[in-house]
């Protein structure tokens, strides 16, 4: 049995035709053809005279017109081919090249201009600036999250951009450090799917690229532009959330934990979250959490946690580390700094989860509030006394 595997699903374009006796005339829309063609490779279009499999191919003795041509408003070049006598039209995207022409990065705006080095008819093409998150630094062509910004018409192969840094998506802040590749996409007004290219850096622009800024709420991040080893524009997008929330007071009784916090920014709908740090390869991830309400006073924020409800249920396990965060609307979860003024030496292990586990508040390697858990010691049961009856001789065996 033959197994066919296709990287891209088959695309069909129905072509209307007119008939004059034994002659047929068909007109092909290059805009429709471009919208269905691959933007990063050539696409082979075979002419067939029916829609159902098995197809009847249109055969030709050829050659007809085999000279490559590019319509004025198209990003594709076309030529006819005749493999095995089958009439075939090949569409191939032009090679799109772009470089940074001007560049500025400050705390509020990223701005500049991009030059399209490939020849384009003026005022017929639009551009988008796309940021794509690269999850693995060494995998340059593999991306996950992305965000695009419309730049408008390209004029004389130049397009300007001005992007407020606060508009960058919080979805990029997956890890503590994230790599964003800058990509430009060019499309015609007839075809929304365009061609894309990485943005290269010419020698005279290299001194202007390395810049670093801090971005305040709601991102709480640092953004640093840099030049990759392959001479492209990219960014380090890092979380900058350390120290925005700190533990100002810790009180402990037999029944409760009372935590007071100092915040650098105002919040709404606040909660305290404990996240279990589960090991994954050389790092860890948070998959399980428990949440408590945060109460706002006149000058402070307070959370009160009942020890009987602390890390209760199936979420707990022995030898686990739980990191504490402050959560609020339209903000990332903020780690809670545990300054040296907080003395954890008086905070010992206490029973949780119906005495199945023990927990202790502490300070983790990042000087943030955390909790350690351990298996609670088994309580010895009452010893059953056994009396041995019998003569002196029979008791000697015992």
List, run by run, the mean pLDDT of 10-residue segments along the chain (398 residues).
Answer: 56 84 85 86 87 78 75 87 88 95 96 95 87 90 95 95 96 91 92 89 97 91 96 96 93 92 86 92 86 88 90 82 92 92 87 82 95 80 61 58
Write down the pLDDT at residue 136.
Answer: 87
Strands 98-105 and 195-200: parallel
Whole-number Å distance between alpha carbons of 254 and 133: 48
Write down the pLDDT at residue 24.
Answer: 82
- Greatest C-alpha distance within the chain: 128
- Highest CATH level, class, for 245-375: mainly beta
Write down the pLDDT at residue 71.
Answer: 85
Q: Against a cut of 0.85, is the pTM above it?
A: no
Whole-number Å distance between alpha carbons of 364 and 281: 19
Q: Give yes or no for a contact between 172 and 147, defined as CB atoms under 8 angstroms apart.
A: yes
Which residue, among 248, 383, 360, 385, has the nearest Cα to 310 in the 3D structure?
360
Q: Give yes or no for a contact between 59 and 46, defined as CB atoms under 8 angstroms apart.
A: no
Which residue, among 282, 5, 6, 237, has the nearest Cα to 131 in the 3D structure?
237
Cβ-proximal residues to 198 (8 Å cutoff; 6+ apart), any chain? 98, 181, 182, 183, 230, 232, 233
Q: Helix, strand or coil for residue 347?
A: coil
- Determine the straight-line distance between the first and last CA of the chain, rounded to whole angstroms: 80
Q: What share of the chain is helix, strand, coil (3-state, %, to 5)?
A: 10, 45, 45
Write down the pLDDT at residue 48.
Answer: 85
Strand partners, 245: 263, 336
């Amino acid at each position: 049995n033959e197994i066919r595997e296709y990287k891209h699903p088959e695309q069909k374009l129905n072509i209307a035709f007119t008939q004059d006796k034994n002659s047929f005339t068909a007109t092909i829309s290059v805009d429709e053809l471009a919208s269905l063609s691959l933007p990063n490779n050539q696409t082979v279009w075979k002419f067939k005279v029916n829609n159902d499999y098995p197809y009847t191919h249109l055969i030709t003795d050829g050659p007809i017109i085999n000279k490559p041509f590019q319509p004025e408003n198209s990003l594709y070049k076309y030529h006819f081919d005749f493999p095995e006598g089958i009439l075939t039209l090949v569409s191939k995207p032009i090679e799109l090249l772009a470089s940074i022409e001007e560049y500025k990065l400050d705390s509020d705006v990223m701005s500049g201009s991009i030059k399209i080095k490939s020849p384009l008819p003026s005022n017929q093409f639009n551009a988008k600036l796309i940021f794509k998150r690269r999850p693995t630094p060494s995998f340059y062509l593999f991306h996950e999250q992305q965000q695009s910004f419309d730049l408008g018409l390209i004029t004389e192969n130049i397009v300007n951009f001005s992007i407020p840094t606060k508009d960058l998506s919080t979805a990029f802040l997956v890890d503590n450090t994230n790599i964003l590749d800058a990509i430009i996409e060019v499309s015609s007004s007839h075809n929304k799917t365009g061609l894309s290219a990485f943005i290269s850096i010419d020698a005279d622009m290299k001194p202007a690229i390395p810049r670093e800024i801090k971005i305040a709420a709601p991102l709480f991040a640092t953004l640093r532009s840099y030049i990759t080893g392959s001479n492209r524009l990219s960014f380090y997008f890092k979380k900058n959330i350390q120290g925005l929330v700190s533990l100002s007071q810790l009180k402990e009784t037999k029944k409760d934990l009372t935590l007071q916090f100092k915040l650098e920014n105002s919040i709404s709908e606040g909660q305290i979250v404990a996240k279990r740090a589960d090991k994954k390869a050389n790092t860890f991830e948070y998959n399980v959490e428990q949440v408590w309400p945060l109460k706002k006073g006149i000058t402070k924020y307070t959370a009160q946690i009942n020890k009987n409800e602390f890390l209760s249920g199936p979420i707990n396990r022995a030898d686990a580390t739980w990191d504490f965060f402050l959560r609020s609307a339209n903000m990332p979860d903020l780690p809670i700094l545990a300054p040296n003024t907080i003395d954890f030496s008086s905070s010992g292990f206490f029973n949780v989860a119906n005495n199945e586990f023990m927990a202790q508040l502490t300070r983790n390697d990042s000087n943030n509030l955390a909790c350690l858990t351990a298996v609670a010691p088994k309580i010895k049961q009452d010893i059953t006394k056994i009396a041995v009856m019998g003569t002196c001789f029979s008791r000697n065996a015992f």
